[in-house]
Amino acid sequence: TEDIEGVRVVRRAALSATASDVLAADGCLLGTPANLGYMSGALKHFFDQVYYPCLDTTKGRPFGYWVHGGNDVTGAVRGIETITTGLGWRRTADAVTVTGEPGKADTEACWELGATVAAGLMD
């Protein structure tokens, strides 16, 4: 939105994002499909790679996330919440969870999620 200024968005695929990327970021927006009742292997790999290098330095880091699953996202949400709590990150917007085929309202909710996280970084 034109009301959000001074926020630069850097996109990284979960398998290519590094601890350096997280350390350089002021906030994070995460997204994952729910696979076999859990977050994607790619997002889990991301957390495995960044957890200890970022543990002390990123406490209080604002973040948001979305999860999409066929019929249940509970395990994926629980995993993300557990790991980000361990990191000491601060969720700045309600998570967007989508089950089944995503619709226009889901896309708009994800846009709002990103805008909310970005707006929080303007201060």
pLDDT digits (tens, 9 = 90+) for 42-66: 999 999 999 999 999 999 999 999 9
Six token digits for residue 30: 């995460």
Six token digits for residue 93: 């917007």
The three-state secondary structure class of 66 is strand
Query: Helices (H) and strands (E) in the chain — how many of each?
Result: 4, 5
Report if residue 48 sits inside a domain: yes
Give 4's pLDDT tier (boundaries 50, 70, 90).
confident
CA distance 123 to 118: 10
Q: What backbone torsions phi and psi does residue 11 show, to the nearest 5 degrees?
A: -100, 135
Report if residue 3 sits inside a domain: no
Closest CA relative to residue 2, chosen from 94, 114, 115: 115
Domain count, the chain: 1
Report if residue 32 sits inside a domain: yes
Report if residue 6 sits inside a domain: no
Report if residue 59 sits inside a domain: yes
The answer, yes or no, to whether residue 1 has pLDDT greater than 50, is: no
For residue 7, the model assigns a pLDDT of: 84
Report if residue 26 sits inside a domain: yes
Query: How many CB atoms neighbour CB 3 within 10 A?
Result: 8
pLDDT tens track for 104-114: 999 999 999 99
Report if residue 116 sits inside a domain: no
pLDDT tens track for 75-85: 999 999 999 99
Structural domain boundaries enclosing 93:
19-97
The answer, yes or no, to whether residue 2 has pLDDT greater than 90, is: no
- 53: domain CATH number is 3.40.50.360
Report if residue 113 sits inside a domain: no
The H-or-E segment that residue 65 falls in is: strand 62-69
